[in-house]
Amino acid sequence: MSTIEKFNEHIMPSYGRFDVVMESGEARTATDENGKTYIDFGSGIGTNSLGFCNEKWVDAVCSQVKTIQHTSNYYYTKVQADFAATLCEATGYSKMFFGNSGAEANECAIKVARKYSFDKYGKDAQRNVIITLVNSFHGRTLATLSATGQEVFHNYFFPFVEGFVNVKANDIADLDEKLAQYKGRVCAVMFEIVQGEGGVIALEQEFVKAIFDRCEKEDILTICDEVQTGVGRTGTFLASEQYGVKPDITTLAKGLAGGIPIGVCLANEKCCDVLTKGTHGSTFGGNPICCAGGNAVLETVLADGFLDTVAQKGYYIWQKLIDHPEVAGVSGLGLMIGISFKTKKAADVCKACLDNGLLVLTAKEKLRFLPPLTITYEEIDKGLEILMKVLEEKE
């Protein structure tokens, strides 16, 4: 039986997949089972931040596997402590909780926000409403699906978790209206600085400022979901840095450990001790192998000058695309790039790129690039050449 036949026989059909079986990867090139190679502009949906099998990362992960692979959270490990210390130092946050995915990082943020208000205002206040944005994406668990402000996700799995209210992105009047409607009941506002799955749309500075302004006045926590935008993706370690704001909580996941599962919820002084003993946990959270991979990622991304190269490469790609006659618009920040077309469908372009040896992603009606942060200009040129060729093809 072929690999694809085994999938169809034994794996639930929840994904739409391309008919390609990936076998190996090196740097920014993936190879399928037939030996065909692909330039990687998707990095496993933003996870392989250092590309495939980066040497420093491989050494860190392999050496950890051979030392101690897991201990449970009944004990301490040095590798987890070192990772947490570096990440707090880099972000200015006080403490973190470890999960294994973006959804888990956001679940933790939701719990922190609700318990913060519970502890401070009491059960009877029912201060548990979380405002999220229309067109957001926060994950696939029931709570994070409920938080996700896209109607297409609110199907089949009723009943959803209560207490999420959506505000239109960049609509300050709507924000004020919902805050008034739920006065005294809102414990947090949660948002992506650049909506990823929603179409690579950066929030407007004014709107972000308005969120922080309102939240500060009413002791409402700000939760920034940087699962996709974080860890250098946008050219700063956190995308929120470019907006001059310091959310009470930031969640990270995708690129944080270089392609192995991790998710963290970072909290500031105000709410970092809310989750007291026994109130939250995870069997695999803080796994030493993932932390070792994470340490290699942090060491690379935080090295002097590295983040500037990300911003520069993002700008380079943006410039190459913006004047193309088929390109209607380019959006995003740094190496998180969305492209809309005048006549072509992003899904068709994505498939044609694959056929021609370039891995790209889509987000809603846009093509999306999330290349490894270590991609070279030569590889960018090669990848864009493939895209240009695809754009010139007649239907």
Q: Which residues bind ligand PLP (CB under 6 A)?
A: 101-103, 106, 137-139, 192, 196-197, 225, 227-228, 253-254
Sign of CA dihedral 113, 189, 366, 40: negative
Side-chain half-sphere CA neighbours of 374 within 13 A: 23
- How is residue 52 written in tokens? 């495939």
Q: How far is the CB of 391 from ligand PLP (least distance, A)?
A: 26
- Residue showing the smallest CB distance to ligand PLP in the complex: 102
Q: How far is the CB of 320 from ligand PLP (least distance, A)?
A: 25
Nearer to ligand PLP, 103 or 354 (CB): 103
Nearer to ligand PLP, 280 or 324 (CB): 280
Q: How far is the CB of 149 from ligand PLP (least distance, A)?
A: 12
Nearer to ligand PLP, 115 or 138 (CB): 138
Nearer to ligand PLP, 186 or 227 (CB): 227
User: What single-letter amino acid sits at 86?
Assistant: T
Nearer to ligand PLP, 93 or 137 (CB): 137
- How is residue 231 written in tokens? 């860890």
| Residue 248: C-alpha distances to residues 110, 219, 270 (Å) | 12, 11, 7
Which candidate, 367, 316, 368, places its Cα nearest to that of 346? 367
Nearer to ligand PLP, 225 or 379 (CB): 225
Query: Residue 43 has what DSSP assignment?
Result: H
Nearer to ligand PLP, 40 or 225 (CB): 225
DSSP annotation string for 157-223: SPSPPS-EEEE-TT-HHHHHHHHHHTTTTEEEEEE-SEETTTTSEEPPHHHHHHHHHHHHHTTPEEE
Phi, psi of 250 (to 5 degrees): -130, 135
Q: How far is the CB of 168 from ligand PLP (least distance, A)?
A: 18
Nearer to ligand PLP, 118 or 160 (CB): 160
Q: How far apart are CA 354 and CA 338, in angstroms?
A: 17
Q: How far is the CB of 365 from ligand PLP (least distance, A)?
A: 17
Q: How far is the CB of 42 from ligand PLP (least distance, A)?
A: 13
Q: How far is the CB of 113 from ligand PLP (least distance, A)?
A: 16
Nearer to ligand PLP, 137 or 243 (CB): 137
Q: How far is the CB of 102 from ligand PLP (least distance, A)?
A: 2
Which residue's structure tokens are 């502009």? 41
Give the alpha-carbon dihedral of 184, 190, 193, 198, to 10 degrees.
Answer: -120
SS3 letters across 100-142? CCHHHHHHHHHHHHHHHHHHHHCHHHCCCEEEEEECCCCCCCH
Q: How far is the CB of 58 from ligand PLP (least distance, A)?
A: 22
CB contact at 8 A, 103 and 139: yes
